[in-house]
Every structure is written in C-alpha cells, then in structure tokens.
A = this chain, B = another copy of it.
C-alpha cells in the first residue's frame, strides 16, 4: 500500500471509477446493443447519478470513445490469434476471415466502431490511430509480401485501406439490412477476398 497524497488518491479514485463505468457500459453494449448504451442506463447500473459520468467523460462521446478503443483491442486480438502461415496468400485470406468473424462475434462492437450506431460520434486522432494499430497485423503482412516481391511495391497503408474498406462495405450493407441473408453476404465477402488478393498477388514483377 503506497502512501499517497489526497490529490493522488483522488486521481486514482477517478481512474478506478472511469474503468468501472466503461465496464458497465461495455456490459450493456454486449447484452442489450448500442441503442441501450445511454447515460442514464449506465448510471443506473452503477447506481449513481449521471453527473459523475459527465464529470469523468465530459459527454457521451467521451464514453463512447473508450468503448471504441476497447473494440480496437478486441479486433487486434482477433487478428493476433490467427496462426501465422508461410504462404502469404493464405495468411492474408485468414486475416480477412478473422475480420468477418469479428463482425459476427462482436456485432455490437462493430456497429459502434464502424457501423455508425452513434451517428454523432466521429473518431478523432487517437481513435484513428487505435484503428491503425488494430490493423497492424494486416499492414505488416502486406509489407512483408512486398519485401518478398509477392506484391508490387506501393504504399502498404493504402493497400490495407483498400482491402479494409471494401470488406467493411460488405459487412456494413449486411448489418444494415441491404444484404439480407448471411449466406449471400458471406458469398460476396469470400468472392471479394479472393479477387482482391489475386489482384495484388498477380502484380508480380514481370507480369
């Protein structure tokens, strides 16, 4: 037990509180979906008043942002749990598959992060950075493929963004109800994955 000044202990108390509030909000998100993540419901779960949340997070976006960062961590772990394969093509395909799985296992996180569930929430510098970090496995895989000459040299970040954005499009239209059946959506997704990877891998020198 450290000896702490009042200010230090106060800060730590605030930090603990922040953490438990984020956890409560995350629980509501998982159990009841994004539309149920309201300041009052979080306050009710914490058995406290809404004022505390505003003191600690400034506004709702401040709380949503932390859920966004949590989601980035989960996404990152999803990518990390993909077994690294020698075959670059297969590895990239597995990463794409993991992204689909993430959207299926954590649809509420997905809606919050990329689906516009909180249309007033716009990611800022740090959230965008966290997203890039979550996609790091992807970026390094592409970079390595370039070094090995499997993909023509260009900006690996742009390559990842092209892949990410287009995969996201399929998931988003699916979650939004524009592509009803899950099988149809997966068919489109797999088709797209194959085409994209082939497109990049066929750009070998001499082709």
Minimum CB–CB distance from A179 to chain B (whole Å) comes to: 7
A107-131 interface with B by 8 A CB criterion: 111, 114-117, 119-120, 122-123, 128, 131
Cβ of A101 to closest chain B Cβ, rounded Å: 17
The answer for the CA separation of A170 and B188 in the assembled complex, in Å, is 16
Give the distance to chain B from A164, nearest Cβ to Cβ, in Å: 8
Count, chain A residues at interface, CB 8 A? 40
Task: List the number of copies, as a whole number.
Answer: 2
Question: Are A114 and B195 in touch, CB under 8 angstroms?
Answer: no
Q: In the complex, A165→B116 CA distance in Å?
A: 16
**What is the 8 Å Cβ interface bit string for chain A, positions 130-166, against chain B (1 contact, 0 not)?**
0100000000000000000000000000100110111
C-alpha spacing A151/B195, complex, angstroms:
13
Given contacts A158-B191, A176-B122, contact A117 B114 (CB under 8 A): no
Q: How far is the CA of A172 from the CA of B169 in the complex (A)?
A: 7
Distance A64 CA – B198 CA, assembled complex (angstroms):
40
Chain B hits for A161, CB < 8 A: 179, 184, 188
**Does A192 sit within 8 A of B, measured CB to CB?**
yes
B122 touches A119 (CB 8 A): no
Contact at A165–B166, with CB atoms within 8 Å? Answer: yes
Choose among B34, B111, B117, B166 the residue that contacts A166 (Cβ–Cβ < 8 A): B166
A35 touching B119, Cβ below 8 Å: yes
Q: Tell me, yes or no, whether A74 is within 8 Å of chain B by CB.
A: no
* Contact digits for A6-40, partner B, Cβ 8 Å, 1 yes 0 no: 00000000000000000000000000001100000
Q: Does A168 contact B (CB under 8 A)?
A: yes
CB-based closest 5 A-B pairs: A169-B169, A166-B166, A116-B116, A122-B177, A168-B169
